[in-house]
Chain A
Amino acid sequence: MIPRHLVIGVAVLLAITLGMSLYVWRMRARVDRGDLSAANSQAVAPPVSGPTEQVTLYVAYDDAGVLRPKPVRIPLPAGRQERASELLRALLNIYLDKVSPHPLGAGSEIRDLYLVDPGLAVIDLNAAFADNHRSGVLVEELTVVSLVQTLSANIPGITRVRILVDGKERDTLAGHADLSNFYDAPAVTQLAAQLQNAQ
């Protein structure tokens, strides 16, 4: 005869095992659906509230392989560096949207942005941004020019931009676009103008 308390103990353990299995199975299904990655791709910092300003974001469109200026109204803080960060956040939100004209990889984020006088801006991307970026000359160039031109066109005084990944220098974004050198704002403006023409 099996003691009653042993039967109850085994039954409780079985129930817990079953419950845990169900929980793990549901979590796995959720990961497969991509719910977690979508949640991770959201900006961590709280959105800025207050009066909105009109700015021009330079948005990449993969279908035509072009860059188009897109006037938008977004709330911007007072500080120069915070404004620059907010601009890039607005741009990234477009790219991380479900209906994105130029999708970026899951978890892409801008870790930090520094404005170093005179005229130097340093954009620090996270590793997921570069590691999950699609590889190709045009697709990488569109990303780089979009970031640099959006900054230099809206923040007066930026003459050069450097892009880092995870705080470190990196040769290319995803095998093509050069990240080992500084980007000159006037040269990128010329590039952005050229990328606005489909032919």
Chain B
Amino acid sequence: MPWNNPRRSLAMLTFTAAIFLASALLLYSSPEEKRITIYSIAANYSLPVLDRNGDEYVGLLEVFEPLGTVSAKASGTRWKFRYNDMESEFTVGKTRARIHGGDFELPSNFLLENRRGLVPLSCLGTLMSRILGGPVTFNQNSRRFLVGNVAVHFTAQVSKTAPPKLVINFTAPVNPTIATEPGKLRMTFNHEAVVAPGSYALTFDSKIIPSASFQESNGAAEFVVAAGVPLIASFSDNGRTITLEPPPQATTPASSAQITAGTAIASPAAGPTATVASRRYFAVVDPSHGGEERGASLSDQLAEKDVTLAFARRLRQEFEARGLATLLLRDGDSTLSLDQRASLTNSAHPAIYICVHAASQGNGIRVYTALVPAVTENRGPFLSWDTAQNASQPLSRSVGTILATELQNKQIPARSLIAPLRPLNNITTTAIALEVAPPSDDVSQLNSPAYQQSIAAAVATGLANLRDRLGTDR
């Protein structure tokens, strides 16, 4: 028996421990998923980067889908790709491609996986520029693509007031995620094409806010402010200006004070009292389900998560065509929990939250508002999570009823109902859910662009007419 020999026992134990350690290291050191982010006038979205044969690749259909009408057809080794009226042809295992009748040389071979055409990432900027017929800026290090003139520039200046304030002015509204850590306040821009100022490192003539730096990586940009005291952030000028300043009690002993979690507050607290002045978005549109959570199987090929995303994109387009800034909570096939959806919405302070669902039963559209559970007590300034919708419920129900009536007036079958549907009850602003059903018994019609467009246009018009009631001038 090996256990009778102490040397062997020790060797076996060491071997087991080494295996255990190696497994633990492998589990805990899995690299961050590589992503690219594409910013354009039509949409800002993020896509995964695939490692194939030592090169980085991306799916061409996914890249162009949010920008226009795309289709692809595989025939043998040839893969024909169509974006709007522009035709391209790629050959599996070859570097030569044809774009709108002209030759295009890929840096490595074109790949086809499950009918998805993959192209090397390093040439995507040039390829997009050729297909879109316009300038595309590609930052290879940060994997950020800017299609057309969408860059958001900013300046940062510390005022000479007491206490000093760091005023950051952007050329377009922004809504970063703000986090704090000892001595730092970090603003992450996932949805805005914020680009670097003249220098990546900024220094200020202030002991309280001495410096800041700009970083870009893996499809996102970060602006990190070093500070000797806790800072709070406030938004003004419709999200174009962010002011960072110490709270009144933290202005004196500069050197010893540290920023602690929760002291830097991104815009006003997540309560129903958010002011209109700080509002960046008119609507937050939430395509339900996504990622591993497919939602209902509407047919053999059609998953609810795909229909909700397509419809939500159209709804955003319709809102923005009416000059109403809109945030899409999910602009790809990603998994978001209900709590995450509610948190993101509450911190964005939109005038209205719209959750999109799809169903194969019935027809037309159903507008839901929250069935809020039995009243639980709020604790001081903190709202109960389960009943956060309470204060906004009367307006939500009124908006739901008016919207359903307006849709009926446009000959779209519509009902307004109350439903036990999360995260409606966790939202602090006006909140509705839309369940889109097919126009007839044919479920495939749910995915019809014409049908989705007609419903999205009608919903956007109905809600745009209610903007005064929703307390926004946007």
Chain A residues at the B interface, C-beta cutoff of 8 Å: 62, 65, 134-139, 141, 144, 160, 171-172, 174-178, 180-184, 187, 190-191, 194-195, 198-199
Q: Which of A134, A138, A171, A177 contacts B366 (CB 8 A)?
A: A138
Which of A178, A181, A190 has a CB less than 8 Å from the CB of B418?
A: A190
The chain A residue sitting closest to B404, CB to CB, is A199
Q: A178-B420, A178-B422, A181-B420 are in contact. Are A138 and B374 (CB under 8 A)?
A: no
Residues of chain A lying within 8 A (CB to CB) of residue B422:
171-172, 178, 180
Nearest to A197 among chain B residues (CB) is: B415
Q: Are B371 and A176 in contact (CB under 8 A)?
A: no
Q: How far is the CA of A171 from the CA of B208 in the complex (A)?
A: 47
CB distance A65 to B361 under 8 Å? yes
In the complex, B149 has a CB within 8 A of chain A = no
Are A141 and B296 neighbours in the complex by a CB distance under 8 Å? no
Which one of A141, A160, A183 has the highest number of Cβ atoms from chain B below 10 Å of its Cβ? A141
Determine the distance from Cα of A178 to Cα of B359 in the docked complex, in whole angstroms: 17
**Distance between Cα atoms of A195 and B419 in the complex (Å):** 10
Apart from A136-B360, A198-B415, 13 more pairs, CB < 8 Å: A135-B296, A135-B304, A136-B296, A136-B359, A136-B361, A137-B366, A137-B368, A137-B421, A175-B295, A175-B296, A190-B418, A199-B408, A199-B415
Query: Which residue in chain B gives the minimum CB-CB distance to A188?
Result: B371
Residues of chain A lying within 8 A (CB to CB) of residue B293: 175
Give 30 pairs: A residue, B residue, CB < 8 Å, sorted on A: A65-B362, A65-B415, A135-B295, A135-B297, A136-B360, A137-B359, A137-B421, A138-B361, A138-B417, A138-B419, A141-B419, A141-B420, A141-B421, A144-B420, A171-B338, A172-B422, A175-B289, A175-B295, A175-B304, A177-B420, A178-B420, A178-B421, A178-B425, A180-B422, A181-B420, A181-B425, A184-B373, A191-B371, A194-B418, A199-B415
Tell me the smallest distance from the CB of B146 to a CB of chain A, in Å: 37
Q: B295 near A187 (CB under 8 angstroms)?
A: no
Q: Give Cα A134 to B299, complex, Å.
A: 12
Q: In the assembly, what is the distance between CA of A160 and CA of B375, in Å? A: 12
Q: Does B195 contact A (CB under 8 A)?
A: no
Centre residue among B295, B418, B419 by max chain A CB count within 10 A: B419
Among the listed B338, B373, B419, which residue makes an inter-chain contact with A137, where contact means beta carbons less than 8 Å apart?
A: B419
Contacts of A171 in B (CB 8 A): 338, 422
Classify the interface of chain B: helix, strand, loop or mixed: mixed
A177 near B421 (CB under 8 angstroms)?
yes
Q: Which residues of B contact A (CB under 8 A)?
A: 289, 293, 295-297, 304, 338, 357, 359-362, 366, 368, 371, 373-374, 386, 408, 415, 417-422, 425, 433, 435
Could you tell me the distance between the alpha carbons of A135 and B357 in the complex, rounded to whole angstroms? 11
* A145→B99 CA distance, assembly (Å): 57
Knowing A135-B296, A175-B289, the reply to whether A191 touches B418 (Cβ < 8 A) is yes
Complex: how many Å from CA A138 to CA B359?
Answer: 8
CB distance from B293 to the nearest CB of A (A): 7
- Closest chain-A Cβ to B362's Cβ sits at a distance in Å of 5
The 6 closest A-B pairs by CB, nearest first: A135-B296, A136-B359, A181-B373, A178-B420, A137-B435, A178-B422
B361 to A182, Cβ gap below 8 A?
A: no
Most A CB within 10 A of own CB, among B366, B371, B435: B371
In angstroms, Cα B356 to Cα A176, docked, is 12
Q: Is the CB of A182 within 8 A of B374?
A: yes
Task: Enumerate chain A residues within 8 angstroms of B297, measured Cβ to Cβ.
Answer: 135
Are B415 and A187 within 8 A (Cβ)?
A: no
